[in-house]
Structures are given as structure tokens and as C-alpha cells.
Amino acid sequence: MNERETLKNVDGKLVVGGVSCESLSKKYGTPLYVVDQCYIENMCTVFRDTLKSEYGDGMIAYASKAFSCKEIYRIVNRMGIGADSVSGGEIFTAKSVGFPMEKICFHGNNKTLNELNLALDCGVGLIVVDSFYEADLLNSLCEQKNTVQRVLIRVNPGVEAHTHHFIQTAKVDSKFGFSIDNGDALEIIEHVQSLSNLKLEGLHCHIGSQIFESKSFILAVEKMTDFYKLLKEENGFEFDVLNLGGGFGIWYADGDSKKSCNDYAEYIKLISKTLLDCVNRKGIKKPFLILEPGRSIVGEAGLTLYTAGAVKEIKNVKNYVAIDGGMFDNPRFALYQAKYTVVSANKLNEPKNFKCTIAGKCCESGDIIAEDCLLPTVNTGDLIAVLSTGAYNYSMASNYNRNLIPPVVMVKDGESRYAVLPQNYEDLVRNDV
């Protein structure tokens, strides 16, 4: 467990945000998403203040696909950072709580006509263009509305990074962006520059996710600034903005680096230092720098509580602990065998001598949350906690098998409150005809 002041073992009980998980389960029931608000605020502060002190002109834009609801937009707005959105729904949610639209970057490889209209009508700050079709459609909509939209273009710099590995590649096979290496990026840049109702502010790239290897970020900065220099010297283009995306890794299980909030400042310092050096060395304009952390802001802030049901012991084969949740509230293991740390929230100090697989309640043999977990002997009714579920759990949840999506509860300073109310069965049939 990656313990901190707001997530710790207190006399064998798991306590988050000053509230015991046992008391949360009694008050709200299970399954339950629990989110440590203080952790989120600390991460926002670290990213925001480090960027300002180390680089100057820039913006942290929370990658809201990691976890989107009204309350998270209220929090990040109070913390003075922007957001990136990837759908009309995320834009609408942010706007519904008064989030400043000029601080939103709108991403996506196939934004719909309705979504682009919504973004323009709301006054979204930057739209990241991802195809010739989208550029032409957006320009046409802007002409109709007699407006000019600030845009970035997503490019592929030839750097791929995931978890502890990265490679430099000329790979062009991606549904996102335009390759620098094969000339596609230059072609779309020239095209967008020719459109009278789009103002090209700069470029965007995103090299991967769950990245621990810092060299990948250095290489991405070098490749992008090389391209900026080339565009200046050969095409006369100088840009005001550089968006380097996000992808900072978090702790999920053994093998992942355990970082404090302050440790993440090192990523921002490294990117800032590298970019400032490249600007001076290559003679290009210092761009407004946008970074888009998402998972690293909310991932470790979240945990999910379940109640153990049936315990199935298959002699000399495997033990299963069935929980009252499953792939409808956390599909990540079923999708790509994501690893998690599982603990018995009410038995943290007891010997961990029971090896088991945590199985969900869905009618799918692949409905697994975690395998080969070492827990104290599990009894029906025990409280099971899965850690680091703040990112891509609630946001990917579904009503599969007509299960209810769990509510979200925020905890801070010993207090708890709903951020997302529980569903009921009437919610399931509300739109049925």
C-alpha cells in the first residue's frame, strides 16, 4: 500500500481522508467509490505551482476522461487549472458548474457535428484538430457563426511510451494525429493555415500513458522543438503554444514506483528545464506550455469498497472471493488485465495467508478484478478495498447485466459527502420505451 497522511492503516483498519472505510461502508453501502479530495487538491497544487515556478507561461489542463463529474470540475477550477475534454458530455458537465470554457482543450479523433457546435457555442478555448475532414468542418461552422476558433493540431512525434518502457519509432499507424516523419503533419499544418476561420496556435502530442521512464518526455520535447525549428526555418511558421499531453505513471501494485504528491514535481521540472534549453539552443519562440495530467491527479486518490459474498475454494486449484461489484464498476482487468492492490479493509494487521482471485458478480467468466491476491482468511461480509481506482473506473462504468453504477463519495478532513448519487432501478428503465 502506498501510504500517506490521508491513506493509512489505523489499528488494522483502512482510513482514507480521516474516515474509516468501515464507517463509509455502513453509511453508504457497497460497492462504493471513495475519493480523497485532499490528494486531488495537493496534486493540482504541485503541478500548477511547479509549472509556474519552473517554466512560467503555461497551464495544467486536467485530463477529465480519467474521472468526470460536476464535482471534479468544481475542484480543479478552484485549484486554478484548466481541463481537457474529449466529448460533448464532458464539455456540458464542465459548463454546468461554471467552469471557464476558455481553459478547456477539446480533443478527439472524430468529433461530431453536434459536439463541435457545442464547443463553439460554449466558447471552448482550444480545439485540437485530428483530421482534414474535421478541419474543414470546423472552419465551415466558424464561417456560419462568423467567428474564428483557436486550434492546435495533434501530431505524432515518433516517441511511444508506456509504463517502464519507451521507444523511438517512425510508426504512423495510429488513429490519433499526424506523423511528423512521413510528412503528414506538415501537410495538415499548411492546410489549416489556409483556412480563414481557424487560427493555428500550435501543436499537440501525447506519447503514451502510465509512464515512469522520464527519458521519454525528454525525447518528446526534443522531437517537438526540432519540428518547431524546422517549420520556422523552412516554412516561416512560428507557434505560440505547445501541448505535450500527459501520461505520468501512478502506483497500482508491486513493481510500480511509489511516489508522493511532491515527487510528481520532478516530471514538471524535467519537462520545463528541457523545453527552456531547447528554446534557447534552437532559437525558437518560447511557447505557452500545456500539460494534461489526469490519472496522476485522481488515480491514487480513489479506492473502491466491496463486501465479500461467497468464498469458493477449489481444492489444489484456486480460491475465489466473490464481491458485490465487478466489471460494471471496474472493467480494466477484463479489458487489458490491469493490476491492482487488494486489501481487507477491516483486517489489515492479520496474517495474509489466503491466496485468492477477486471475482465480480457479472455473468461473465472474465469478470475478474484481481488475481493471486494475498489476504487474511476471507469470510462472507468482510470489507474488501481495491486501491488506486480513481482513474478510469467510474468513467468507464456501465450498467452491464443491469447492475447499478456505484455512487461516488468524497472524503476530506474526517468528513464525507456524495459527489455522485447512487443509482436506483428506476434510473435503469428511465429511457426505456
d(CA 267, CA 221): 12
The verdict on whether 363 is a catalytic residue reads yes
CB–CB of 386/359 below 8 Å? Answer: no
Residue whose cell numbers read 528545464: 273
d(CA 59, CA 94): 17
d(CA 363, CA 118): 38
Strand partners, 370: 358
CB–CB of 115/93 below 8 Å? Answer: no
Give the Cβ contact number of residue 250 at 10 Å.
Answer: 23
Catalytic-role residue among 105, 261, 356, 363: 363
Q: Is 243 helix (H, G, I), strand (E, B) or coil?
A: strand
Q: Which of 233, 148, 235 is nearest to 189 (CA)?
A: 235
CB–CB of 57/288 below 8 Å? Answer: yes
Q: Alpha helices of 10-131 — where are they, by DSSP H?
A: 21-28, 37-54, 70-78, 88-96, 113-122
Residues marked active site are found at 363
